[in-house]
Structure 1
Amino acid sequence: MITDCVIEDDRWEEVGLEELAEKAATAVLEHLELGTDGWEIAVLACDDARIKELNADFREKDKATNVLSWPSEERAPDAPGETPFYPDLPDPDGPPEELGDIAISYDTCLAEAEAGGIPFENHVIHLTVHAVLHLLGHDHIDDMDATLMEGIETEILGKMGIPDPYTL
């Protein structure tokens, strides 16, 4: 297993977050040709109150959000629009390589899915793909970086049969 889910909000159990997170992480790592063995990502499945605390503590934004990510190390590229510095493949005989941590809020994810007319599971997979890409050094602050990141997300989701979330 790539993902290790900590379920703080039981509603996540009902939608099978553990399976959705594993599916999303696997899709990202396979797409980027990083393999699926030897990686580890911690996923905190929470509600808006908890993610609001995390967002305030780590980003100084006193509001709930859909997903947060904390990479285990800085992998951002040197210039906008360039590919991040992906990690080397893990040692098959060594301990798992930690890519980082993700927190995802049930309340915000559900509200966004309903507002956009998107199946909840598809939205959760999209947000998890997005967060895993953040762990691997992608960002969307700069337009060139956003174009690269969104293009990769769209390719991955397309392979999974999920429509492009940026054209809905």
Structure 2
Amino acid sequence: MRNIKEEMGIYMPAPLYVYWTATWLFITPVALVLIFFLSCYYFVPAYFGKYVYPANIQALGWFICFSSVVFIPMGALYVLLKGGKEYKDLIRSSPDFCPGHVRKLREKEAAATKGQPDGVFRYTYDNEGFQEPTAKVRFRLMADNRKDRCGVIADCRIAGVM
């Protein structure tokens, strides 16, 4: 709750604080665990009318259900086995992770000193095409009453292009 209040920058009254704390820490986790175990306990194989689908179709259904979720632990296992980082490093936030208003203050301070923290801004792209000074190009329109390829008379053209 402390992080939520800091990130949003709003005052949270005591009843609302108690409500959200109870909801996030107790009610929701207990409800999810209860729903999971009750659905496992009261599991009935898939059927249509009086026809019960065969075991291979049941397995296909379970495969489809878990196919979208299985990639999360598989990705974590891949990173662990790859050997780049330890488990504690994977579940801990990085040192440059901070609330949005703190990040804006850091960027503003770095821009004021023309430096960047740790030599690089993460999650930003520096497009050199939008840096000052920019070259100003002015085109001069000239009257030209000659026909173009389609036979249409062109009223004006850009100098030096045609």
> TM-score range, shorter-chain basis?
under 0.3
Give the TM-score taking structure 1 as reference length: 0.18
Give the TM-score taking structure 2 as reference length: 0.18
Q: Normalized per residue, which structure has more helix? A: 2
With a CA cutoff of 8 Å and minimum separation of 6, indicate the structure with the bigger relative contact order: 1
Larger Rg: 2
Q: Normalized per residue, which structure has more strand? A: 1
